[in-house]
Amino acid sequence: MIVPGDLDDLKRVAQIDRSGMRELLLRFPEQLARAWQLSVSVPDFERLIVCGMGGSAVGGDYLRVYLTHKRFPKPVFVIRGYELPPFADANTLIFAVSYSGNTEETLSCVAEAVERDCHWAALTSDGRLAELARAHGAPIIQIPKGMPPRTALGYLFLPMLKSLQCFLDESAVETELTEALDALKKLAARYAEAPEAENPAERLAHAWHGHIPIIYGSHGLTDVVARRWKAQINENAEAPAFCNVVPELQHNELMGWEHEPHRELFVYTLLRDPDEHPQIKRRFELSRSFLEDQGSLVLEFSGEGEGLLARLLSLSYLGDWASFYLAILYARDPTPVPLIDTLKARLTQ
C-alpha cells in the first residue's frame, strides 16, 4: 500500500519501475534536441496527411495543431486507420509514422500512397516500413530503436516539423524550440526530484488515484494534449481514463455530470491555454462552476512558456510524469503494454 510521500522514495519507485520509464522521461528534453536534428527534404504539396496509430499518431496531432495555429495555409490531416481519404493524390505529402515500422494500419496506408503516386516519407526506427521506403526510394527519417513508442514523442513529432520548417517562419520556430527545451529541462528536474508538496505531477497522480480521470481540452489547441494524457494514463498506469473537447462536450457529455451514482468516481482535469477562443474560456469557467457546485473535484492546468511549442510540450510532459506516478501508486511497471502486444500478435495469426 502506497501512502502520501512514497512517490518521493526513489528506491521504492525503482522497484516498481523495473523497465526504466523514469529514465526515459528524464531524458525527454535531450530527445527533443536530438529529434530537431532529423529531417527530410519535401517538395511543395497541396495537402498533408500523417498516417499512424497510438503513440506514433500523436506527433501528427501536435504537428496539425501547431501548423493550424500558425495559420499554415494547407490542410493537415491525421489518419488513424487502414485507408487514405479519397483526396490523397500526387499533390499530397504523406508522413507514414510507425515507431516499430510494423503497424498494419500504417502499412496499409503506405500501400495506397504508392498506388496513388502520393509523395511519401517514412518516420520510423525499423521494420517493414523502412524496408518499403527503401524499396520505393521514399525518404526515411530514421529514429533510434528500443524505446516504447509513447516515450518517443520528440522523435515522432519534431522531424516532421523540421522538414516543413522551410514553409514557416524558420527563425520563429527555432526561438520557440529553444524556449521549449529550456522549459522542459527545468520541469524534468522538478517532476523527478521535487518533494510531493511541491511536485505537481505527484500531486496530480494522488488526486487521480482510485478515481477515473476525465481530461478536457480545448478544440484545436489542448485537445491533443488531453488525448495524449488519456492514452498515457491508459498505457503507463494500465488504468481507464477518458477525454473530451470543449465546446463539443457541452452539447452532450455535460448532461452526465449530474448523475449522482457516479459523481465520486471521476476527477475532472481541465487543460487550459492562453490562446483559447474567448467563448471557450467562458465555457471552461462555467463548466468548472457547474462541476464544483455539485461537489466534483476539478483540477486545472496549463503549459509553461510563451510560445506554443513550449506550452504544448510542457503540458504534455506533466501528463507523462503524472501518469508515471499513477502507475507507481497502482504498483504497475509503467513500460510494458502486454494487452496491446497480445492483440497485435493475435491479429497476425
Give me the residues that bind ligand PA5 (CB under 6 A), please.
Answer: 53-56, 98-100, 103, 106, 148-150, 235, 337, 340
344 is catalytic: yes
User: Given 179, 235, 276, 304, which residue is catalytic?
Assistant: 235
In angstroms, give the least distance from the CB of 235 to ligand PA5: 5
Cβ(129)–Cβ(122) under 8 Å? yes
235 is catalytic: yes
Considering beta carbons, is residue 43 or 146 the nearer one to ligand PA5? 146
Q: List, as one string, the DSSP characters of 39-94.
A: -------SEEEEE--GGGTHHHHHHHHHHHHTT-SS-EEEE-SS---TT--TTEEE
Percent helix / strand / coil, the chain, rounded to 5: 55, 15, 30
Considering beta carbons, is residue 31 or 106 the nearer one to ligand PA5? 106
CB within 8 Å of 155: residues ≥ 6 apart: 31, 34, 35, 38, 59, 99, 123, 143, 144
Residue nearest to ligand PA5 (CB): 54
Cβ(140)–Cβ(40) under 8 Å? yes
In angstroms, give the least distance from the CB of 106 to ligand PA5: 6
- Strand boundaries in the chain, DSSP class E: 47-51, 76-79, 92-98, 119-124, 140-142, 212-218, 242-246, 266-272, 297-302
User: Given 69, 74, 281, 344, which residue is catalytic?
Assistant: 344
In angstroms, give the least distance from the CB of 124 to ligand PA5: 8
In angstroms, give the least distance from the CB of 85 to ligand PA5: 20
179 is catalytic: no
Considering beta carbons, is residue 148 or 200 the nearer one to ligand PA5? 148
CB within 8 Å of 128: residues ≥ 6 apart: 101, 102, 107
Considering beta carbons, is residue 148 or 247 the nearer one to ligand PA5? 148
Considering beta carbons, is residue 98 or 199 the nearer one to ligand PA5? 98
In angstroms, give the least distance from the CB of 280 to ligand PA5: 28
- Distances in Å between the Cα of 170 and the Cα atoms of 3, 139, 167 are 48, 22, 8
β-strand partners of 98: 124
Q: What positions carry a catalytic annotation?
A: 235, 251, 344
